[in-house]
Structure 1
Amino acid sequence: MKIVINGVTIEAVQADITREQVDAIVNAANSSLLGGGGVDGAIHRAGGPAILEDCYRIRERQGGCPTGEAVITTAGNLPARHVIHTVGPVWNGGDQLEPDLLRHCYIHCLQLADEHKLTSISFPNISTGIYGYPKPEAAEIAVSVVQQYAETGNGSLEQIRFVCFDGDNLALYEQQLEQAKSSIEDIL
């Protein structure tokens, strides 16, 4: 599923994020930035030691990455040029600011992409694995933030991909993109 808003192509695909040939892939990191399981572990394994070395430098400078924030590193051996690491919220029922924190993950990744004049980025399904964020709500937040970004027409990104690990997440993102497409057509 693919939509275009102000020249920004937004799409959902089922793929391996470590094989994305884009300016940056997003890593669903933990606050230590030292690697972990899931997407984080896969990115660190595929990217090699250069990513971890950059993460150590960031830790020395600022002590890690708080929830909702993002930092950028090299992509090491990955086909992407950069990795943007963001720390999603752990789901605790939704009344601990989880929606705002997840929204900020996407916002800060997009801001870093603009600061570095990147034209393409691929996002995983942030916080929906071990952090337990409900997948439908996470997809809605992700697509709405990206849609708002594209509607401003002010950013450097031309391609934004949601890279889903499984078919269930892909279906959720396609549904959200279809709703975004309908809302745009209603405006026109």
Structure 2
Amino acid sequence: MKTYTIGRTSVSVFLGDITTWTGDIIVNAANSGLLGGKGVDGAIHSAGGPEIMEQCMEIRKEQGGCPPGNAVITGAGQLPAKHIIHTVGPIWEGGGRREEHTLAECYRNSLLLAMKVGARSIAFPNISTGIYEYPKGPACDVALKAVTNLLEEDLPDNRLERIEFICFTPENEELYVQWLEQFTQEKEAHI
């Protein structure tokens, strides 16, 4: 695990299984119907039990799902986290359909929702890089820029002490570590 500090928040990257993570909030790379699915979404629903789906169905009744880039929150069922933020990443269609903007909004809106509920820790998967086929390198760039930009805003309701990126593949882990190392080196050079 590699850890970096941005403002008062530690940002870590490691290879692992998000369903076993202990903290306040895990982020689920959901589909817009909030109906469970494959990849990380399927793993979270399977490990967390039926109460997650029941809460997702309540959200569907209230607002008809979750559009790409948006985020909603449920309990975590049987998972060790306290809550799940479900966000819907973009399906990669070559980059000409505002996928970068939508992916950045997934991270930003998830963090804002976490701050709204007073979370101190949050864990992200690599949103959209699995079955939605967003290229891993550009997805890493979007994710970390969105997170670091929001942390640099120094928002008054930000109580986040820990943000963790839980990578499913060694390739993603390496990309995130390299990006954060370069980011911190550039920050130190400007001090």
Identity %: 51
* Residues 58-137 of structure 1 aligned to structure 2 (within 5 Å): 58-137=59-138
- TM, length-normalised to structure 2: 0.97
Corresponding residue to 1:162 among 160, 165, 168: 165
Match of 1:175 in 2: 178
The separation in 1 between residues aligned to 2:23 and 2:149, in whole angstroms, is 21
Secondary structure, aligned partner of 1:50: helix
The separation in 2 between residues aligned to 1:114 and 1:39, in whole angstroms, is 23
In structure 2, give the amino acid aligned to 1:108.
Answer: N
Cα offset, 1:153, TM superposition = 2.5
Structure 1 residue ranges (4+ consecutive) displaced by more than 4 angstroms after TM superposition: none
- Structure 2: gaps spanning 5 or more residues: none
Matched-pair contact (CA < 8 Å) for 1:147–1:180:
no
How large is the RMSD of aligned CA atoms in angstroms? 0.7
Deviates most, 154-163 or 80-89: 154-163
Question: Residue 186 in 1 paired to residue 160 in 2?
Answer: no
- TM, length-normalised to structure 1: 0.98
Deviates most, 74-83 or 143-152: 143-152
The separation in 1 between residues aligned to 2:145 and 2:12, in whole angstroms, is 13
Cα offset, 1:152, TM superposition = 2.2
The separation in 1 between residues aligned to 2:190 and 2:165, in whole angstroms, is 24
Cα offset, 1:66, TM superposition = 0.3
The separation in 2 between residues aligned to 1:153 and 1:184, in whole angstroms, is 16
- The alignment of Structure 1 onto Structure 2 pairs a total of residues equal to 188
Matched-pair contact (CA < 8 Å) for 1:113–1:156:
no
